[in-house]
Amino acid sequence: MTGLSRHATLLLRALAAMAGVLLCLGAGFVVGSPLVHAAKPGFYRVTFTETNGLPPGTPWSVLVNSTNTTSNRTTLSFLEPNGTYSYTLVAGTYTPNPPSGTFTVAGTPVKVSVSFTPVEALGEVAGQPTILTPIGGNASWTWTVVNYGSLCDLQLAANPFPSMPNTTTPALSLSPAIPVVPEGADGTPHLIASVAFDPRDVGKSWSTLAGLNAVYPGYNCGSGSCVGVGVAKTVTVDPFYPSNVTFSEHGLPSGVSWSVSLSGSSYGTSGQALAGQSIRLQVPNGTYNFSALATNYTAAATTGTLTFTGGSVAAPVFNFSLVQYPVNFTESSLPPGTSWTVTFWGHTRTTNGTVLSFSAPNGTHAFSVENVYGYTVAPEYGNVSTNGGSTTTGVGFTARHYVVTIEVMGLPFFGGVWPPWTVDFGGSIYGGQNGASYAYVNNGSYAWSVSSAPSGFSASPSSGTVKVRGSSVTLFVKFSPASPTVWFNESGLPHGTVWQVGLNDTDVDSVGSSIVFSVTGGTYSYQIFSPAGYIAQVRTGNLTLSGPTAALTVTFVRFTYAVTVHERGLPSGTSWSVTVQGSTLAHAITKSPNGTAIKFNLANGTYSFTITSSGYSPAPSSGNFTVNGGSLVLSTTFESRSPMIGLMAGSGFELAVWL
């Protein structure tokens, strides 16, 4: 402490403690917080006093419960509550006495006295912390002895490197072999070490205690007693090739790895990194082929050639992009120009054509197809897998059908039928003799028109447009008579059969199901003319027109003739049967009386018959007959099938033959 005596210093410290202020003395000397503490309830002052050994201004410290307090004065104090504490003293190259200990705070201040003695400076070895060693060459570096003030000479020795994977001569080469540092020497180079590394050890590092040990082997120690203490330096050796290159990339998403390889005539190497990281490679001089790879990604130039002559070489930057393959969705069932939409691999696209095109990398990717109004779609969603080529997925749309009910109004309903009518709806004909007809269509607009109306009726309106929009629709067609009408509606006749009605003095025939007369009102007489083979159940009568229309249902039945089958030869009461089939019959008719005759009522036509009776043979047993406007009589004769029994000599059995 410049210009101040030890007693003056202590006096100033005391004054500072009383005043509780900071006092600066001379250059860099501070009296304050280490010595003066504000009182805290339950805390007591602990004071360490350095009594001997430290030069003025030398820093020293006390470590108590992980708290380090430092001072460059003779007194160091702090506050602690009651308790027992451990402490450790540190003062650079000086040895504290005691170096550690304990003190107890028990309601009163505590004072601890310590002293320091200088350490015999054995010297400190300083050297390069990291050695870059070119592969195939020698690495040399130098250590220097500093801060040396021992009373003895210092001998330096080198520890060898540990074994390395491929280097065959790991030991250090020392120059001089056994250097000795004279007493008091400082800053003098003492050791040059070198080692040659194998090229296969490129990129490896070793942290080792291969360095200098300062020892006292008894050289020139004079009358002093010196204890040998080793002082070692740790050196990291980093072998490297004389040429290097750094590759970088753009375009890869986070987390994707990529790699680069270099291949020469006698040496090759490679490196790998994550997206955004560069790859640095070291190689011996020469020409190398390089190639870069990132799975599912490609770049414009991932291969090429680099020539190394020492130092760094400029490398291309790989601009990666995702490798994708065509993925197509096709449909063929929508009306031309209808838009449809697919979402695939996070992308949504719409077209009014038949193909939607995407692209995707290898893998399995989800897709979904939006419903088109009025249609269902299959598949609605799913997965598409790509594996190095294009894929095509078909999409099918099916129209949702809606019902258009075409219902007539104003037509007479007689005998369970309406007069015939037809409507052209969307190019198809609907109608008949019912009160309604049904069209099953998709969404859209449809034109309609009355293509035929019952005689004496007209429709208003007779045409129009129906729009179907996701639900069923009813079209009402209203007919009105042009004048009073009389309707005759037939039933029972085959389709296309001509029949005739006479009303007063007017006769009208038709092959349809209705005959209509336009009248002026009043009472009319009628007559039904039956077609051949048929007869009307009501053939004549009168009807009175009391409204706009009057109607009569004419029911025709087939006219039949008696066909009688007689038998002879059967014992009385014996059952027999006749089955008749023909085109005028809906099904075969079988009759089985107990008498000698069976009677059928049949219309004109040709029929087949079959006659049977158990145990008897009829003649004839089958055949055909024709009814043509008159009755028929058929006959058959039965003969008994009696067995003839005979014995065959030596046969041992009977043979029965039915005759």
> What pLDDT was estimated at residue 39?
56
Q: Is the pLDDT of residue 482 over 70?
A: yes
Q: Distance between CA atoms of 619 and 611, rounded to whole angstroms?
A: 9
CB 405 within 8 A of CB 473: yes
CATH of domain 485-558: 2.60.40.10
Q: Is 410 exposed, middle or buried (0-12, 13-18, 19+ CB in 10 A)?
A: middle
**Distance from first CA to last CA of the chain, Å, rounded?**
163
Q: pTM for this structure?
A: 0.35
User: Which range is least confidently modeled, 146-150, 281-285, 287-291, 527-531?
Assistant: 146-150
Q: What is the token pair recorded at 250?
A: 């753009």
Q: What is the pLDDT of residues 589-636, one digit of tens each?
A: 888 877 889 999 888 889 999 999 888 999 999 999 999 888 999 999
User: Which range is least confidently modeled, 7-16, 90-99, 470-479?
Assistant: 7-16
Q: Distance between CA atoms of 39 and 79, rounded to whole angstroms?
A: 8
> What pLDDT was estimated at residue 109?
95
Q: Distance between CA atoms of 128 and 425, rounded to whole angstroms?
A: 101
Q: Which amino acid is at 586?
A: A
Closest CA to 609 of 645, 572, 654, 579: 579
Secondary structure class of 308 (helix, strand, coil): strand
> What pLDDT was estimated at residue 144?
44
Number of H helices, E strands in the chain: 1, 65
Assigned CATH class of 122-240: mainly beta
Q: Distance between CA atoms of 153 and 188, rounded to whole angstroms?
A: 14
Q: What is the token pair recorded at 312?
A: 């760094």
CATH 3.40.50.300, applies to 6-118: no
Question: 243-322 has which fold?
Answer: Immunoglobulin-like (2.60.40)
Q: Is the pLDDT of residue 658 over 80?
A: no
Q: What is the token pair recorded at 295?
A: 């799975």
Q: Which spans in 388-528 are helix H?
A: none
Output the average pLDDT for the chain.
Answer: 76
Q: What is the pLDDT of residues 525-566, one digit of tens each?
A: 999 998 988 889 899 999 888 777 788 889 998 888 899 999
> What pLDDT was estimated at residue 473?
94
**Which residue would you say has higher pLDDT here, 374 or 619?**
619
Q: What is the pLDDT of residues 37-48, one digit of tens each?
A: 445 788 999 999
Contacts of 655 (CB under 8 A, 6+ apart): 645, 646, 648
From-to residues of CATH 2.60.40.1120 in the chain:
6-118, 243-322
Q: Distance between CA atoms of 585 and 602, rounded to whole angstroms?
A: 9
Cα distances (angstroms) measured from residue 10 to each of 26, 49, 74, 89, 91: 15, 11, 9, 22, 21
Pairing of strands 632-640, 560-568: parallel
CATH of 560-640, one of 3.30.70.3270, 3.40.50.300, 3.40.605.10, 2.60.40.10: 2.60.40.10
What architecture is domain 325-399?
Sandwich (2.60)
DSSP line for 66-80: TEEEEESSSEEEEEE
Q: Is the pLDDT of residue 66 over 60?
A: yes
> What pLDDT was estimated at residue 55?
86
For residue 325, the cross-strand partners are 360
From-to residues of CATH 2.60.40.10 in the chain:
122-240, 325-399, 402-481, 485-558, 560-640
Sign of CA dihedral 145, 150, 152, 158: negative
Beta strands in 233-285 (DSSP E): 235-240, 243-250, 257-263, 268-274, 279-283
Contacts of 659 (CB under 8 A, 6+ apart): 641, 642, 643, 644
Contacts of 53 (CB under 8 A, 6+ apart): 94, 97, 115, 116, 117, 118
Q: What is the Cα 508 distance to its own chain's centre? A: 76
What architecture is domain 402-481?
Sandwich (2.60)
Confidence of residue 240 (pLDDT cuts 50, 70, 90): low
User: Which range is least confidently modeled, 123-132, 459-468, 648-657?
Assistant: 648-657
User: Which range is least confidently modeled, 319-333, 342-356, 396-410?
Assistant: 396-410
Q: Is the pLDDT of residue 179 over 50?
A: no
Phi, psi of 100 (to 5 degrees): -160, 170
Q: What is the pLDDT of residues 414-426, one digit of tens each?
A: 656 778 899 999 9
Confidence of residue 93 (pLDDT cuts 50, 70, 90): low
